Structure 1
Amino acid sequence: MEGADRKAKGASDLGVRAASAVVMLAVAGAAIWLGGWVLTAFIVAVGAAGFWEFSRLASAGFTGGARLAWTVFGAVYLALAVFVLVSVSVQSISWLALIISAVIAVDVFAYFFGRSIGGPKIAPRISPSKTWAGLAGGTVGAALAVVLNSQVPRWICEWREPASGYVHGGFATGCGPYWQPQAGDYAALIGVGLLIAVVAQSGDFLESWLKRRAGVKDSSKLIPGHGGVLDRIDGLVAVSLLVGIYLLVTAPQIFGFS
């Protein structure tokens, strides 16, 4: 009877997780589709919820000056990520698509590589489920996300306007120019994928460490079956800052700097 109860509870939890995932995808998808102030408000609301959870973890895990320092760090950390995401969503939606798809790809590929290959853990005391095989999978996923985000718009344009022609360039909107990877570019793609995967998992490790300090399993119970908002955006926040640094150097006009 006890085994049957556990199976029933597992099935119930899976149903709750699936329903929550559908709602999250629907809300996020609608915000991205509508764009404009709706998308901006959605990003700010998610960031505010993430900070509320971060401050709760800091309050539970630290005292005195350390608590204040970590709370301030969380405010700056999440505010900068929100600033990057809002800026790219206004100026270049392709960068927002790249950030989101790369983080999802890291999570999905890391999960399947880690589960199927297993092997040594990266930091078992902080996050027991993270393996080096998972990091390799995340690298593959992130590299594929970079390629697809650069090539899918070109493929669509070639299908719509087959006679337009394209030249080697960078990320762009409209129908060209688009980046067309050469043979030597793929080594660089692996390096970019590794960097994104490491940064995404570093964000995950940071949150896992804070939760261990606070003695909790989830950052909150805001999302049934999934824990808190911070549990879902820990890697996204870190990768947003990485992309923000890159764009600040290569395209500062996105942030209003000349």
Structure 2
Amino acid sequence: MTASVPPSSKWEDLKTRTLSALLMIAVGAVDIWLGGAWFLAMIALVCGLMMWELVRMLEPGKVMLARALGVLALLSVAVAVKMSFLVDLLALAAPVVVGALLIRAQRIVFVLYAPVIMLAAYGLVTARALENGITWLVWLILVVVITDIAGYFAGRMFGGPKFWPSVSPKKTWSGTVAGWIGAGALGAVFMPVTGVGAVLILVSMITSFASQMGDIAESAIKRRAGVKDSSRLIPGHGGVLDRFDGLIGAALLVLIVLIVSGRVPVQP
């Protein structure tokens, strides 16, 4: 006879997850509003933690290396935004180069993903420094959130073929497309706020796809490393990478758009 599971046990981590989420929202909102050194410090810290988690997953036996690269990533982001773009890139490359030299297991994975973390962090700081940076950051975060929510509920309601079953077994095409539609609708809402035309709808949908790719990339790394979560830093949520994998992909796309549009000059 199978013992029944107390109903309360199904929700025993709800309070922890909710409190953690509210704390992250509160800290993030305040830092985005303050901008400047406060926002830079938060992004640098988050970047350092993500680098630490990445190295821990790829080289679980090298504790000191993970910590050292985490600190180096933090310092690189903090220093990079103070210089010209080309010099910034050199600073951002520091933890990637050091890691590539010292990491043996899964070195290719590190070399491919570590630069994404660094550039995404740089992209967030760059976006906040824009004249209407707060608006664009709120748009970016909401694109990622709506993509996740729409994808989750559509996937549960409609199911259907899997998007990429070998990497992310739970993601369906219905959830993926729902994420694009939700992001497009958000883009329409932000058109009058940002002063951008209908192209923002398309950009929002492409950003949604970039967010999904960020999620899938981190899932692939975890499957390769044989771990469920990137760490246990956030009670009830897992690791920093687990929470911000979608934002990494979206922020990287935003940085590319800013560079192509000339908002980030490639010359000093």
TM-score for both structures, normalised by structure 2: 0.76
* Structure with larger Rg: 1
Q: Which stretch shifts more, 74-83 or 224-233?
A: 74-83
Range with greater deviation from structure 2 (140-149 or 13-22):
140-149
Stretch deviating more after TM superposition (73-82 or 200-209): 73-82
Q: How much does 1:251 deviate?
A: 2.6
1:241 counterpart residue number: 252
Q: CA deviation at 1:64?
A: 6.7
Kindly state the Cα deviation for residue 60 of structure 1 after the two structures are TM-superposed.
Answer: 4.9
The offset of 1:247, in angstroms, is 1.2
Q: 1:116 aligns with which of 136, 140, 157?
A: 157
Asked if 1:142 corresponds to 2:183, the answer is yes
Q: Which residue of 1 aligns with 2:262?
A: 251
Task: Decide which of 136, 139, 148 is 1:107's aligned counterpart.
Answer: 148
Q: 1:27 to 1:2 in 2, by over 3 A?
A: farther
The letter for the 2-side match of 1:107 is D
Query: Root-mean-square deviation (CA), in Å?
Result: 2.4
Separation in 2, partners of 1:64, 1:36: 34
1:84 aligns with 2:128: no
Deviation at 1:66, TM superposition (A): 5.2
Seen in structure 2, the aligned counterparts of structure 1 residues 256 and 41 have a Cα distance that, compared at 3 Å, is farther
The residue type paired with residue 199 of structure 1 is A
**Paired residue type of 1:115:** R
Return the letter of the residue paired with 2:232: K
Alignment pair present for 1:208 and 2:219: yes
CA distance in 1, matches of 2:223, 2:142: 28
**Alignment partner, residue 196 of structure 2:** 179
Q: Deviations over 1:237-257 (max 9, x none)?
A: 1111111111111133x4574
Contact 2:155 2:171 in 1 (8 A): yes
Judging changes above 3 Å, is the alpha-carbon distance between structure 1 residues 14 and 86 closer, same or farther for their aligned structure 2 residues? same
| Residue 75 of structure 1, CA deviation | 2.8
Distance 2:235 2:3 in 1: 24
2:231 alignment partner, SS class: coil
Aligned equivalent of 1:156: none
Shift of 1:142: 1.3
Q: Is the 8 A contact 1:140 1:193 kept in 2?
A: no
The equivalent of 2:4 in structure 1 is 3
Query: For structure 1, which runs of at least 5 residues remain unmatched after alignment?
Result: 154-170, 172-177
Aligned position for 2:234: 223
Q: Which residue of 1 aligns with 2:87?
A: none
Residue 192 of structure 1: how far off its partner (Å): 3.4
Residue 180 of structure 2 aligns with an amino acid whose one-letter code is T
Aligned equivalent of 1:168: none
In the TM superposition, structure 1's runs of 4+ consecutive aligned residues that sit over 3 Å from their partners are 63-66, 191-194, 254-258
Greater Cα offset, 46-55 or 94-103: 94-103
Does the 8 Å contact 1:109/1:138 carry over to 2? yes
Q: Write the mapping of 1:26-105 to structure 2, written as runs, cut at 5 A.
A: 26-60=26-60, 65=104, 67-92=106-131, 93=133, 94-105=135-146
Structure 2: which amino acid aligns with 1:18?
T
Q: Which structure is richer in relative contact order (CA contacts within 8 A, separation 6 or more)?
A: 1
Q: How many residues align?
A: 225
Q: Percent identity?
A: 38
**How far did 1:180 drift?**
4.8
- SS for the counterpart of 1:130 is strand
Query: Where do 5+ consecutive residues of structure 2 fail to align?
Result: 62-101
Task: Say whether the 8 Å CA contact 2:59–2:103 is kept in structure 1.
Answer: no
Whole-angstrom CA distance in 1 between matches of 2:53 and 2:11: 28
Question: 2:103 and 2:126 mapped to 1: Cα distance?
Answer: 35
Pair 105,99 (structure 1): closer, same or farther in 2 beyond 3 Å: same
Which residue is equivalent to 1:174? none
